[in-house]
């Protein structure tokens, strides 16, 4: 049985954008064993794809925090030894960074990646056996799909399919309709004003939905609590849940009636699951990395073009009409 390795480690949005390439490979190689090297925090999401046989977590983010610690070097050695112990028919690095190319360099098998005209960090090309030309200005999803198709000998012609079953993933914890508001992002320039979130939370609640404000770090939790309090948390229907692992957050999103969020990885999960979505762009352009999916999606804003709450609520009403 052929073994194929995919290397796409981070960030969360990039990992989501790689899911359709997994679906393509599984469609063309139903009997192959598909493995995926992915950052440890995102491994639960990779495991949700039924076409993935083996998720191989890597901890580069954690290792970078303690690069000279003996424990870090032991973990790196064990990771490399585990990769070297296997032989792959093809190893495909769709990340295109030096750090992921170094992972590819540890693999026994034919190593594929972007060529110098298609890659973000050209030095990474030195670690690939075969380099492929892929359109630079294309969205991340077709770039991933094209590279994998070139490496494995097929053309990705089918519609985008993330391979995720929303109904199977959705949490059954509540029957009350709810909206997930995703305000948190690691890049401060992408944040939307708290006052805007308060106005949207109140309006969403007035439309009959409970409001859920997930978070991942302590500062994000404080912001969720502040938005909830200002929006009338004491009146009920506005919730700040406990911190959850990524697969549980995906289940929360899958069960939502709608999602409103800034340009961050969780928004791409909503798009992948087909949840009605309003995506807010403030300091980035959606053309290359914006959300794509089969559900109704409205994308507002762009580089230095922040929408206001009224714009977002009109877009929400529009996607809900399309969903119904």
Domain spans in the chain, listed from the N-terminal domain onward: 3-152, 166-323
Under DSSP, the state recorded for 9 is -
**pLDDT at position 174 over 70:** no
Average pLDDT over residues 61-85: 96
**For residue 79, which phi and psi values (nearest 5 degrees)?**
-65, -45
**pLDDT at position 8 over 70:** yes
Does pTM top 0.85 for this prediction? yes
In this prediction, residue 101 has a pLDDT band, given cuts at 50, 70 and 90, of very high
User: Do 3-152 and 166-323 have matching folds?
Assistant: yes
**pLDDT at position 283 over 90:** no
Q: What is the pLDDT of residue 82?
A: 94
Cα–Cα distance measured from residue 100 to residue 10, given in angstroms and rounded to the nearest whole number: 10
Mean pLDDT of the residues in the chain: 95
Q: What's the pLDDT tens digit per position in 213-239?
A: 999 999 999 999 999 999 987 666 999
Q: What is the pLDDT of residue 234?
A: 60
Q: Which of 82-86, 156-160, 198-202, 299-303 has the lowest mean pLDDT?
A: 299-303
Question: Which percentage of the chain shows pLDDT scores above 90?
Answer: 90
Q: What is the pLDDT of residue 235?
A: 65
In degrees, rounded to 5, the angle at the alpha carbon of residue 5 between the alpha carbons of residues 100 and 27 is: 130
CATH homologous superfamily for the domain 3-152:
Glycogen Phosphorylase B; (3.40.50.2000)
- Do 319 and 271 meet the contact criterion of CB atoms below 8 Å apart? no
**pLDDT at position 175 over 90:** no
Q: Which of 40-49, 110-119, 185-194 has the lowest mean pLDDT?
A: 185-194
3-state secondary structure of 2: coil
In this prediction, residue 94 has a pLDDT band, given cuts at 50, 70 and 90, of very high
Query: In the CATH hierarchy, which fold is given to the domain comprising 166-323?
Result: Rossmann fold (3.40.50)
Q: What is the pLDDT of residue 173?
A: 56
Q: Residue 24: which of 121, 117, 163, 131 has the closest Cα?
A: 163
**pLDDT at position 68 over 60:** yes
Q: What is the pLDDT of residue 269?
A: 98
Average pLDDT over residues 294-317: 94
| List of residues 6+ apart from 164 with CB closer than 8 A | 19, 48, 49, 272, 273
In degrees, rounded to 5, the angle at the alpha carbon of residue 165 between the alpha carbons of residues 159 and 168 is: 170
In this prediction, residue 305 has a pLDDT band, given cuts at 50, 70 and 90, of confident
Average pLDDT over residues 88-108: 97
**pLDDT at position 212 over 60:** yes
């Amino acid at each position: 049985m052929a073994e194929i390795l995919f290397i796409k480690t981070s960030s969360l949005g990039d990992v989501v954008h790689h899911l359709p390439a997994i679906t393509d490979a599984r469609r063309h190689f139903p009997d192959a064993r598909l493995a995926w090297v992915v950052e440890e925090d995102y491994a639960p999401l990779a495991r949700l794809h039924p076409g993935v046989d083996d998720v191989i977590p890597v901890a580069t983010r954690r290792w970078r925090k303690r690069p000279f610690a003996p424990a870090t070097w032991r973990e790196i050695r064990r990771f490399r030894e585990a990769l070297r112990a296997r032989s792959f028919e093809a190893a495909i690095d769709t990340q295109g960074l030096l750090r992921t190319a170094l992972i590819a360099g540890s693999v026994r098998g034919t190593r594929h990646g972007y060529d110098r005209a298609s890659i973000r960090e050209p030095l990474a090309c030195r670690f690939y056996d075969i380099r492929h030309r892929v359109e630079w200005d294309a969205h991340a999803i077709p770039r991933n799909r094209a590279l994998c198709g070139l490496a494995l000998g097929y053309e990705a012609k089918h519609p985008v399919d993330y391979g995720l079953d929303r109904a199977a993933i959705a949490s059954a914890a509540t029957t009350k309709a709810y909206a997930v508001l995703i305000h948190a992002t690691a890049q401060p320039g992408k944040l939307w004003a708290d006052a805007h979130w308060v106005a949207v939370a109140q309006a969403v609640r007035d439309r009959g939905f409970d409001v859920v404000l997930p978070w991942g770090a302590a500062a994000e939790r404080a912001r969720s609590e502040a938005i909830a309090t200002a929006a009338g948390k004491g009146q009920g229907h506005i919730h700040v849940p406990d911190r959850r692992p990524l697969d549980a957050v995906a289940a929360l999103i899958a069960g939502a009636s709608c999602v409103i969020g800034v340009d961050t990885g969780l928004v791409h999960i909503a798009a992948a699951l087909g949840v009605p979505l309003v995506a807010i762009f403030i300091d980035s352009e959606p053309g290359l990395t914006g959300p794509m999916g089969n559900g109704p999606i409205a994308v507002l804003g762009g580089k230095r073009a922040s929408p206001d709450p009224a714009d977002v609520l009109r877009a929400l009403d529009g996607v809900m009409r399309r969903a119904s």
